[in-house]
Structure 1
Amino acid sequence: MAVDTSDPAFIAALIEKEKRSKSLGLPRLVPAVFLLLVYLVPFYYLFVTVFKSTDEYLNSGVLDLPRSLSPFVDNVVQAWTMADMGRAAFNSLSYGLLGAALAVGLAAAAAFGLTRLRLRSANAWFMLIFAGTLFPFQMYLVPLFFGYQRLGLINSWFGMLLIYTAICIPFPLLVLRNAFSSIGREIDEAARIEGASEWRVFRSMIVPNAKGPLIALFLLQFTFIWNDLLFSSILANGPQVRSIMTALQSLQGTYASSGPNVVVTASLISSIPTVLLFVFLRKHFMSGLQLAGN
């Protein structure tokens, strides 16, 4: 039965329905706006603090607007020089880029072997590798510290790269094992009929079809390594090899001479690389998460 849209009763019903939906939406809107404001308070604190000098920060309200924007440059210079953030940022960048790339590459190779080569006891091998994530990292610190001390790896660049690569393998292996299993085996069989080696199948057939998850995993592992403080503060607190987070920690504490404005500015600087990576690779990151979820 056709509805006459020009009927006044029909129009009145539509108006009443619209009013009812608006009245129901208001109770939902108020908590959402409140939560948004609460969420934005730390960002407001961040951006008003980096533009304050130490004296202004101590003698004014925490959330007061800065009187000038010029102290920002001084805060950046102090944070960069006092914590030697240039060297620390280079160390963290090298740990993150190489450690994440090696971990994801090794996890991809392991996932290929477990899913495409029909290895015996593949599930047992997977559980053996993945078992490292069942316990908190704090349990590894004492044996790891004494083991590194005996091998002379304390405060060494190679030692930090080694531990970061090792602890970042299990989770990518879990994701890539599922991603590789969803790729049809017809690709492998067709390539092998054409005479392709296993390495060629892995490099030219499997990896291109899992580009999204590989990039997403690289971003996640890079972020973990960049933000790590646990391993870097125990195994590499020397000025030559310490990470950006350890350098940031040196600005705080009993013997630190920097003000809160300098510490907050240093925190802002330390967040820039990960933000830029997610901005430039967000398309691959989101597509990779969708493929990994499937």
Structure 2
Amino acid sequence: MAVDISDPAFIETLKRRERAGQKPSYLRLAIAVVLLIAYLVPFYYLFVTVFKTTDEYLRSSVLDLPTSLAPFWDNVVQAWTLGGMGRASINSMSYAVLGAGLATALAAGAAYGLTRLKLRSANAWFMLIFAGTLFPFQMFLVPLFFGFQRTGLINTWAGMVLVYTAICIPFPLLVLRGSFGAIAREIDEAARIEGASEWRVFASMILPNAKGPLIALFLIQFTFVWNDLLFSSILAGSPEVRSIMVALQALQGTYSSTGPNVVVTASLISSVPTVVLFIFLRRYFMSGLQLGT
């Protein structure tokens, strides 16, 4: 049935519906405010604790405002020196950068081969690589520990880079397989007609068209490696190669007499690199969230 959009009655009906849809829902607003407060309370606790001394923290309520901002630097110095966070930060940064970078690069090469080349049993190869994610990581710890012990990789920098690279490959492969598959194949064919090699097609045609997903995946895997405690506490517990999370755990256990304020300050320090990395790469990360487009 045709509708006369110039009819005043029809226009008034649309206006009434529009006004009804714009009425505020106080229940939803109240729920949103409660959830926001619940979300912000841990951050409030974090930022008031790092500005307290140990005595002030023990005397006052955990949510009381600090009396001064001066103790913050002393807490930073104690967390940095007592926990050995300088060496641990360098270790974790190298594990995260190399592990996430190598895993993303290897996953990109594998995804190119599975989607752009005519490989036999491509799906079987993909399932073989991805099958490792079907089991919890705890199942790998015992064989990894004894395998690293026999090969001399236990408590070594190379061993940690190797294990992080291996466990970080499947997820980027899953994502890039779909991302590379969505790129028009005419790009490959045109490049090959011009005499480009497969490496040239991969490096100059495919990778630039998947820049967003690649950076997003690197950031996700970097965060995973940086925050890992499971593998690093079992395979790299010595002070020379331990990660920042193991150092944070050791600070909480060994130097608990320094007070929760120092431990919380160390936790704040350990979160800085991932936050800074996300700030600088946020534009690519947001575009990379559209992984299939």
Quick one: distance in 1 between partners of 2:204 and 2:263?
Answer: 47
Contact in 2 for aligned 1:104/1:214 (Cα 8 Å): yes
Give the structure 2 partner of residue 127 of structure 1.
Answer: 127
CA contact (8 A) 2:216 2:288 kept: yes
Change (3 A) 1:16 1:283: closer
1:263 aligns with 2:287: no
What is the distance in 2 between the residues matched to 1:14 and 1:180? 47
Structure 2 length normalisation: TM-score? 0.93
> Separation in 2 of the partners of 1:222 and 1:60?
38
Normalized against structure 1, the TM-score is what?
A: 0.93
Once residues 274 and 255 of structure 2 are traced to their aligned partners in structure 1, the CA distance between those partners, rounded to angstroms, is 29
User: Counterpart of 2:110?
Assistant: 110
Q: What residue is the counterpart of 1:82 in the other structure?
A: 82
Counterpart of 1:101?
Answer: 101
Deviation at 1:4, TM superposition (A): 5.7
Return the alpha-carbon distance in structure 2 between the equivalents of residues 20 and 120 of structure 1.
56
Q: How big is each residue's C-alpha offset from its partner over 1:176-216, in whole Å with a ceiling of 9 and x where there is no partner?
A: 01011011111111111111111111111111111111000
Alignment RMSD:
2.0
Q: Is residue 50 of structure 2 the alignment partner of residue 38 of structure 1?
A: no
Answering whether residue 174 of structure 2 is matched by residue 174 of structure 1, we say: yes
Paired letter, 2:219: L
Q: Provide the C-alpha distance between the structure 1 equivalents of 2:250 and 2:266, rounded to a whole number of angstroms.
A: 11
Is 1:203 paired with 2:238?
no
Match of 1:156 in 2: 156
2: CA distance between counterparts of 1:45 and 1:73?
18
Counterpart CA distance in 2 for 1:153 and 1:253 is: 26
Matches within 5 A, 1:145-294: 145-253=145-253, 256-290=256-290, 292-294=291-293
Please state whether the residue corresponding to 1:247 is helix, strand or coil.
Answer: helix
Q: Which runs of 5+ in 2 are unaligned?
A: none
Describe the SS at the equivalent of 1:119.
Answer: coil
Cα distance in 2 for partners of 1:38, 1:3 equals: 50
Which residue pairs with 2:141 in the alignment?
A: 141
Aligned to 1:65: 65
Matched residue of 1:251: which SS? helix
Task: Verify the 8 A CA contact 1:250 1:256 in the aligned structure 2.
Answer: no
Q: Deviations over 1:240-286 (max 9, x none)?
A: 10001000001112663321000000000000000011111011011
CA distance in 2, matches of 1:138, 1:161: 18
Rounded Cα–Cα distance in structure 1 between residues aligned with 2:152 and 2:97: 24
Report if aligned partners of 1:248, 1:263 keep a CA contact under 8 Å in 2.
Answer: yes
Q: Secondary structure at the match of 1:154?
A: coil
1:21 Cα offset (Å): 4.8
| Alpha-carbon distance change, 75 to 255 in structure 1, aligned in 2, over 3 angstroms | closer
Percent identity, aligned pairs only, is 74
> Take 1:110 and 1:16, find their aligned partners in 2: how far apart are those partners?
53
Cα distance in 2 for partners of 1:101, 1:132 equals 20
**3-state SS of 2:256 partner:** coil
Contact 2:182–2:292 (8 Å) recurs in 1:
no
CA contact (8 A) 2:80 2:86 kept: yes
Q: Distance in 2 between matches of 1:86 and 1:36?
A: 35
Q: Is the 8 A contact 1:75 1:262 kept in 2?
A: yes
Q: Is the 8 A contact 2:82 2:255 kept in 1?
A: no
- Sort the Cα spacing of 1:19 and 1:170 in 2 relative to 1 into closer, same or farther, 3 A: closer
Q: Deviations over 1:20-66 (max 9, x none)?
A: 853x5111111111111111100100000000000000010110000
Contact 2:79–2:265 (CA<8 Å) still a contact in 1? yes
Distance 1:85 1:255 in 2: 13
